[in-house]
Amino acid sequence: MREIARMLIMVGVVSLLAGGIFYAVSLFESGKLPGDIVFSGKKVTVYIPIASCIVASLVLTLLLNLFFKSH
């Protein structure tokens, strides 16, 4: 039972950190990197943030590796 509780706490902490990172990145006009694709129509705009996802993945990978390797 304790393992499940610890896992849920870790998922919550990681989700909170990821949300904070994404919020902070959105303040700096993310989604406008050179690899991001935008299709604009008359009524619909579609964003495909390829470069933004790669950058976010790299940052989260580095943070998680630093966190889990310290124990």
Confidence of residue 69 (pLDDT cuts 50, 70, 90): confident
Tokens of 19: 């949300």
| pLDDT above 70: percentage of residues in the chain | 90
Q: What does the block give as tokens for 14? A: 């990681």
Full-model pTM: 0.52
3-state helix, strand, coil in the chain (%, to 5): 65, 10, 25
For 38, the enclosing helix (H) or strand (E) is strand 37-40
- What is the enclosing helix (H) or strand (E) of 40? strand 37-40
Q: What is the mean pLDDT of residues 32-50?
A: 86
pLDDT band at 1 (very low <50, low <70, confident <90, very high): confident
Residue ranges of the domains in the chain?
A: 2-69
